[in-house]
Amino acid sequence: MLMPQTTLCPSSTAQEGALLLGVIGPNQSVQFLTEPEPMTTELTEAIMAIDAPETKFRFANRCVKSGCGQWHEGRCGVIDLVMSFNQHLAEPVALPACAIRSQCRWHKQTGPAACFVCPFIVTDSTQTSEEQLAYIGSNVI
């Protein structure tokens, strides 16, 4: 069960107990929900019936640290990789509205800069190629 003090991975998979965080819009950026929607049994079944839901939605769930293949040397490797492609970015002046910021692993680890690139990240690993990362870099300037 997710508690207010639970540190959340903002790019988790579609599964019961997670939170529906946002929807990938036609411009391939995330439209965050004002309040994340708990993934009930019914919502999970409906979303799992959609082909490749992680290409269409973003989900948040408990950060499992070393239990995740992306965890590297005490850090989330996903946001570190994305930020390595975006070192030229300045600190954002305005952050996207986000209901999980106080619990977010990426924000805890990287600070507000994570929120600048976050809306451009699509969880499905087939989208997380160097080409996609370069796309992020060229679209958030």
Binding site for ligand SF4 (CB under 6 A): 10, 96, 98, 100-101, 104, 106-107, 114-115, 118
Sign of CA dihedral 74, 79, 80, 81: positive
Return the number of the residue (49 or 141) whose C-beta is nearest ligand SF4. 141
Q: How far is the CB of 107 from ligand SF4 (least distance, A)?
A: 4
Q: How many CB atoms lie within 10 A of CB 103?
A: 20
Q: How far is the CB of 49 from ligand SF4 (least distance, A)?
A: 25
Return the number of the residue (39 or 114) whose C-beta is nearest ligand SF4. 114
Q: How many CB atoms lie within 10 A of CB 27?
A: 9
Measured CA to CA, the distance from residue 104 to residue 6 in angstroms comes to 9
Return the number of the residue (9 or 47) whose C-beta is nearest ligand SF4. 9
